[in-house]
Structure 1
Amino acid sequence: MSKVINFKEKFNKFEDHWSPRVIAEMNDYQFKLVKVEGEFVWHDHPDTDEVFIVMEGILTIEFRDGNVTLQSGEMYVIPKGVEHKPVAKSECKIMIVEPKGIVNTGDSGSALTAENDIWV
């Protein structure tokens, strides 16, 4: 049976930036909470779209041809294969929704590549 998930409680269980934490699964998709600050790496996901939902703070998603800035309570779907780089001037709390097993840095690989399937 499903349980009620409290986002605030889940965010309080970790401090790391750019390290997604799984809070739920639906079919083959995972819901992940992430604390972000500073710049991520340019990357893409060639086989899947990616959803960014800003829970708290401001997130800018840079694209090669422009930027999108999201405020708390807003979301954006990045189509598969589109290169992007998330940036947050100060700590921002987001939820991402993507298929299970997706690597956070896509095929780019970097020191920011996070371990998959860490649950909180």
Structure 2
Amino acid sequence: MDEAGIDWEDHPEYEEALYVLDGRMELEIPGERIVCGPGDLYVVPAGVPHRVLPGSHGLLLLIDR
């Protein structure tokens, strides 16, 4: 992750797991903001719009089908 963040996206056909290896991720889904640090895992359900907010930084592992 870099300071720019990742714009809104969704994956209608699969879940996406976001595992923070290092740093800090601020994830936004409609109506909620989730803050994750090293060792945290968040699974975005299929079809749910989400984005990584600017200012997030570090190493992120994305897992999907």
TM-score normalised by structure 2 residue count: 0.88
Contact preservation (8 Å) 2:7, 2:52: yes
> Residues 32-111 of structure 1 correspond to what in structure 2 (within 5 A)?
35-99=1-65
Contact preservation (8 Å) 2:3, 2:54: yes
Distance 2:4 2:54 in 1: 5
The total of aligned residue pairs comes to: 65
Aligned-pair identity (%): 26
Higher strand share: 2
Q: Deviations over 1:76-116 (max 9, x none)?
A: 000000000012515310111111xxxxxxxxxxxxxxxxx
Structure 2 stretches lacking a partner, 5+ long = none
The structure with more radius of gyration? 1
Higher helix share: 1
Task: Call closer, same or farther: CA 1:65–1:56 in 2, change over 3 Å.
Answer: same
TM-score normalised by structure 1 residue count: 0.50
Contact preservation (8 Å) 2:18, 2:63: yes
Structure 1 stretches lacking a partner, 5+ long = 1-34, 100-120
Distance 2:7 2:25 in 1: 14
